[in-house]
Amino acid sequence: MINLILEEIKKIAEIFKKIIRKKHVRIYTQYDADGITSASIIAKVLIREGCNFELRVLKQLNSKTVKEVNFSENDFLIFLDMGSGQINLLKDAIEKTNVLIIDHHEPIKYEHPNLLHINPLLFGEDSEKYSTSLLSFIFSKFVDPKNIDQIDLAIVGAVGDRRDEGIKVGEVSRVLEEAKILGFVNVIKDLKLFGSSRPLFKVIAYSFEPLIPSVYGNEAAALQFLKDLGISLKSENEWRTLKDLTEEEKAIIADGIIREKKDLVDFSEVFGEVFILSKKPEFLADSREFSMLINACSRMGEPDLGIRLCLGDYSVYSKSLEKIEEYKKQIAKSMSFIENSGVVEKENGIFILGVNVVPDYLIGTITSMILSLRKPDKPVFGLAYDSTTNMIKVSARKQSGWNINLRDILVNVVSELGGEAGGHKDAAGAYIPLGKEYEFIEKVNKMIGDMNAEE
């Protein structure tokens, strides 16, 4: 099975090498860490091949943003981490010129001589085991083996997409093994907290993976939490950081977090394998921290900072740190709004109403946070106003394990309410018309109820 997709990627890489000499390359990528690392990998490939290109970062590819895609028959369009589910929007472009899509979201099956389509789901592979960054990396090596040095970016994108588990299986585990052998990645066991140079109590207060319910967003509570555990906060008048902790202290903190979360969390979510990028500067060595930086820059409106970090321009690092502070503040503000007034709980789902307080670009994160805070036995749906489309953006998340496909649910609801939907089984998204929020809630609640009744 695995060879089918590799054969296809190899074949497409050969065609790619011919097209990039003849056409003007335009890359469009999705703005999260997976999209940004993928775009950086492909950008580096093009730089090495001596080709000019344009790169644009989109929040999402939908019927509005597709209008920003320029194309003529002289262009070669590349879509990364998006496109597979939006092929209907791209048919005009595909009719006219060459299009390459590298993606791992649910694809629409469509064949056309102009379309080069890399998606594991087209080959019966499991999308959970892939990120677009890994696919882009495998692709880049077929273009030129010297792109092997981009292996650490592939890991950053996978971590950003929470493919940490997927990383350990199949083709992906092979890539990780390769990265270890070549000395690009070092796997260590550590507390799954990050922000290695920040005061420890701040790390504890603003961590949202793991999220510590009684402490989240409250620095005083974080200080008390550490004091209660007997962790000294300062050494020689300086705030201690994660780096200063002994192994024993790390274990104490891990236990403390698990107790605080009332055992609603696996030990491995708090203490476990962390991928360290050995060839990156120390401040970008923690793959989760790197992916979080990229995410924060994109969401705060400066995705170019993430691209530059990926391409090795570290002069923007301090600016990217400012973005992460802004991002964390916005999240804390949104969370307190939601916890106070924005949750509607139904029998078959928890619905978060971000209205126009929670920005569309945070609703996915917030929805994941509510899921991790409450560990509900039903899915969580976040709704927020999106000003670029004048629609309501929906993010749906659930705990893995039970047999409901969130993407299918959203696709179904959208077929009745209007809008667009896509994504994965455990994490999906949609846009619905403004004003249909309550109708959405009723329909989803009923739909899941009917599905449960059928079982």
- Range in contact with Mn ion (rule: CB under 5 A) among 158-166, 276-284, 364-372, 414-422: 158-166
CB 372 within 8 A of CB 209: yes
- Closer CB to Mn ion, 30 or 97, in the complex: 30
Tell me which residue of 336, 199, 191, 160 sits closest to 257, measured CA to CA: 191
Nearest-approach distance from CB 131 to Mn ion, in angstroms: 5
- Range in contact with Mn ion (rule: CB under 5 A) among 31-39, 162-170, 236-244, 342-350: 31-39
For residue 397, is it left (φ>0), alpha (ψ between -120 and 50) or beta? Answer: beta
Nearest-approach distance from CB 102 to Mn ion, in angstroms: 10
- Range in contact with Mn ion (rule: CB under 5 A) among 10-18, 153-161, 162-170, 329-337: 153-161
| Subset of 91-150 contacting Mn ion (CB under 5 A) | 132
CB 127 within 8 A of CB 112: no
- Closer CB to Mn ion, 161 or 260, in the complex: 161
- Closer CB to Mn ion, 33 or 353, in the complex: 33
Q: Return the amino acid letter for 126.
A: D
Q: Which of 75, 161, 286, 420 binds Mn ion (CB under 5 A)?
A: 161
- Range in contact with Mn ion (rule: CB under 5 A) among 28-36, 146-154, 204-212, 430-438: 28-36
- Whether the link from the prior residue into 113 is cis, omega within 30° of 0, is no
Interhelix angle 151-160/33-48, nearest 10 degrees: 160
Q: Please spell the DSSP secondary structure of 417-450, one letter per residue.
A: H--EEEE-SSEEEEEEETT-HHHHHHHHHHHHHH
Q: Which of 12, 25, 31, 34 binds Mn ion (CB under 5 A)?
A: 34
H helix intervals, 97-244: 132-143, 151-160, 170-181, 200-206, 219-228
How many of the chain's residues bind Mn ion (CB under 5 A)?
4
- Closer CB to Mn ion, 133 or 334, in the complex: 133
Compute the distance between CA of residue 410 and CA of residue 394 in angstroms, rounded to an integer: 9
CB 184 within 8 A of CB 154: no
- Closer CB to Mn ion, 32 or 360, in the complex: 32
Nearest-approach distance from CB 260 to Mn ion, in angstroms: 31
Q: Is 81 in the site for Mn ion (CB under 5 A)?
A: yes
Q: Is 208 helix (H, G, I), strand (E, B) or coil?
A: strand
H helix intervals, 49-97: 87-96
Nearest-approach distance from CB 377 to Mn ion, in angstroms: 27
- Range in contact with Mn ion (rule: CB under 5 A) among 159-167, 258-266, 302-310, 419-427: 159-167
Q: Is 116 helix (H, G, I), strand (E, B) or coil?
A: strand
Nearest-approach distance from CB 81 to Mn ion, in angstroms: 4
Closest residue to Mn ion in the complex (CB): 34
Nearest-approach distance from CB 354 to Mn ion, in angstroms: 22
Residues that bind Mn ion (CB under 5 A): 34, 81, 132, 161
